[in-house]
Structure 1
Amino acid sequence: MFSLTSGRVTDSAVRTRGGWGMIPGGFVLPRLLRRPARLAARVWSGEVALPSFAMATLSVALIGSFSAYGTVVGGHLPAVVQAVTARTGFAIDEIRVSGNHETSEIDIFDRVGLDGWTSLVGFDPEEARERIASLPWVESVSVRKVYPATLEVKVVEKAPFALWQQGSRLSVVEQSGEIIAPLAGSRHLDLPLIVGAGAPEHAVSFVAMVAGYPQLATRVRGYVRVSERRWDLRLDNGMTINLPETGEERALADLVALDARDELLSRDVESIDMRFSDRLVVKLSPDAATAREATLKERLGKQYRPAGENI
């Protein structure tokens, strides 16, 4: 058994079967390196002739190694992976989208960011998920790769609660009061209309309270927040109900009872003021007020005095 050593070769070196013996003062190479070292020594001494294409192969390998190193160091490896895998059957050619009703597929495709040769192998689903999640109606989204060439996008959208009017602007809002998006088209016109500063933050409980009186709720066309302290109701016939700052539920119950008894909400009335605990103030519409004045004048004759006139 001969050991391959490293060190200066002297006349005492022994050659046996073409192998290197122990060199005095040298050290033993690791076992894995001994065979390649023997081959290199034989090539160097001329005992083994290299093929004619060996240097060309070595040059290609050397250039390839430097190219691979430059690709990695320069940060171009993801692009190379994309280019290679896209042209070997992994280019994304289908996107399956589900769960979207308010969000268009075109907007989702745009956020996914495909260029026609995007490889599923090098595609980053987390980056795409973050881009899609930035769309107004998207509550949450998952993006999953389905090999060899499909991308699966599942969207959960925000739930619209009401339309919020600020001046001439109408926005769709969630129950939390957060704006989802400006109103577009007529798709959400059946949602409750809330008006005024601070309305979205307080509307959920109040709208639910009014819904407890169906005969009234079906006639409400707007919930108006006044001075961020109390509510007015606008009915389908143009009537306004001024509710108190506190005790709204008691006022609603009284209003429904009055309507059941006297059909108050069907009369020619402009507004009903319920802000006072000891009285109800009813304001007639202009036509009703004129008709009432004419009736009183006819009835009372010379004794008639217009409203507000001192005797």
Structure 2
Amino acid sequence: MRRFLILGFLIFASMFAWSGTALAWGKFGHLTVCELAYRKLTDPAKAELNRLFRKGKGGIFVEGKGELPDRTYTSFNRGCLEEDELPRRNAIDHYVNVDRKTKTIDATTCPLADTCVFAAIARDFENVKNRALPDADRVFALMGLGHWIGDIHQPLHVSFADDIGGGWIKIDLERKCGTSRESKPDNLHAVWDKCLLDAGMFERVRKRDDFKKTWSRFTITYRAADTLLWNTSWAEEKTLVGQDYDKWAQESYVYTIKPDTLYCTMIGDACAYSATMPKLPGKEQARTQAISQQYLADHEAIAQEQVRRAGLRLAHLMNLALDPDYTTPIKSEVQKP
């Protein structure tokens, strides 16, 4: 049975191989979300997180249980990338797939499947809270929770299954994604995963006076988190957090179906794959969409804002799960009232 389950994951994953791999926000975006969340943890929550990851003691060994390699984890931030490893443990949990006639998302039920990112968030949040579970299980849940919160804030993860959230919309990109040395995206999903952040938030870090080419590869995410936190007042943060997962998905979906996102075309009461195809019948019929530098300039601030909200909301959930006395966000030293 396990062999067939793994085979199923591999088949699902192979769909993403054609599309440049659909990883919400890419590595750098996910790391920024989790870094921002870590900075907003209360002292008791941070102490419990560090205990779980055996900080200063070489990390915690977690068995892959036949689904992933056995590994020792020392960092929550890097662990946030775990759910994008192949074969994926919970491939469908990365998305909320909806019908093309959907106008709004107002419930946390999974519309077209038994599970989705709503169920993944609820499951792993409860597992993180459950101190009766083995530490290794709670660590796995923490890494999943960090990833799912990033996913639900990426607009094309609240989307349509037939084109795998824009993974089967090929693109013709004008020039590059800022001055990033990362590979160019080849589909619309990847534009939202990585290119918008590279052309916007991370490009601004590269243009800072203190930027050094000798920085380690992921230092750029720490500096991006600096700016996101500095630009978030404590009062605003308290208005953004909560556990309204459906509202978060709706925020993403608004961008998903906006005409200028170039993801779908409103025909009648449905947002169609194209003017001639209500749905994508197969990847062989995938259309090609031109993406200009103006498109990147028009949408990069949306991607940055979604990453900011994801980090703040993840911190709130982690504090609720790890700190028994927590009720509301605490003020960081660098935040304005």
**Same-fold status (TM-score > 0.5):** no
Q: Larger Rg: 1 or 2?
A: 1
Q: Per chain length, whose mean CA-contact separation is higher, i.e. which structure has more relative contact order (CA < 8 Å, sep 6+)?
A: 2
Using structure 2 for the length normalisation, give the TM-score: 0.21
Using structure 1 for the length normalisation, give the TM-score: 0.22
